[in-house]
Amino acid sequence: MLRLAGARVLDERDLIDVRGVFDNDPVAACMVAARVEVAGLDPWRLGGEMWGSDSRPIRGKVDGLCFSGPNLIPLKGTPSAMRMFADRARRRGRMCSSLVGPAEQVLTLWEELQPDWGPAREVRGDQPLMAISSPPKVTPDPLVRQVRPSELSRYLPAAISMFIEEVGIDPCAEDGGAGYRARVSELIAAGRAFARFENGEVVFKAEIGAMSSKVGQIQGVWVRPDRRGEGIGTAGTAAVADRLVRVLNRTASLYVNGYNHVAQAAYRRIGFEQVGQYATVLF
């Protein structure tokens, strides 16, 4: 059946094409691939919609790909595809807390959406996407370990401090922290929260956020302020990367703000190399 070219909600018939996009750049696609590998393309199970753009008026291979859920994540597409996604996003209304993903697509999509959705709270247009697929060059901190469920109350203050520093807002402001506490609890239960404890307090923390079959994305790296500059963050991050590479058989990835030269230098000492460029628009 003929139809107008434009963005559409993808379904299981498009799964091969979607997986092809993931395989082409598994590090950039990790956040979305992790969801699709578990839930497929059914919006209810996926927790959002996968949008595709077609340049032809008949159903065919998608030329652009964008996930619309808690975050709006454009993964592939020309400026024309980003206009199609922007049109669909405007009709739906803003339901996301951020735009994040490959910088070219994010910044092009934001240019289209800014007149309706702006101003943003912050635009981070320079975020190197880094990855390592071999054991780290820095000795992993042997004191960094998985956080136990019984340690949630000790881990949570560090997670909140990290969130405020990184995002600029208090995750406990709206609901007293119930939602954020639940998300952190899920990461701990899944064995994806890591910390170094000293005298019962967290001095280093990090998490494996999204994890696809090929890539694990490290997030929430934090060192207690009075312990910064001692190399704890470098050795701690190396411990998490080492677990991903050697135990979980994944490429370890992360993205970092371009202005954070100290963190970038630490990640490069570990062995991370830049493999792409991300951008984030925060609302």
Examine the pLDDT at 4 and tell me if it is beyond 50. no
Confidence band for 62, pLDDT divided at 50, 70 and 90: confident
- Compute the average pLDDT of residues 6-29: 94
Report pLDDT for 56.
57
How does the average pLDDT of the chain come out, rounded?
94
Report pLDDT for 5.
58
Please give the DSSP secondary-structure letter assigned to residue 148: P
Please give the DSSP secondary-structure letter assigned to residue 13: G
pLDDT digits (tens, 9 = 90+) for 156-210: 999 999 999 998 899 998 888 899 999 999 999 999 999 999 999 999 999 999 9
Examine the pLDDT at 63 and tell me if it is beyond 90. no
Q: How many CB atoms lie within 10 A of CB 178?
A: 10
First to last CA, the chain: 39
Which amino acid makes up residue 224? R
pTM summary value = 0.93
Confidence band for 55, pLDDT divided at 50, 70 and 90: low
Check residues 174 and 234 and name the one with the higher pLDDT.
Answer: 234
**DSSP H/E element including 176:** none
Phi, psi (degrees; rounded to nearest 5) at 167? -95, -30
- Compute the average pLDDT of residues 65-85: 96
Token duo for residue 272: 């991370």
What residues contact residue 35 under an 8 Å CB cut-off, 6+ apart? 46, 47, 48, 67, 69, 210
Report pLDDT for 34.
98
Please give the DSSP secondary-structure letter assigned to residue 209: E
Residues 145, 200, 253, 46, CA torsion sign: positive
Residues 167, 173, 175, 176, CA torsion sign: positive
Examine the pLDDT at 47 and tell me if it is beyond 50. yes
DSSP class per residue in 82-138: HHHHHHHHHHH----SEEEEEHHHHHHHHHHHHHHHPPPSEEEEEEEEEEE-S--SS
Report pLDDT for 59.
56
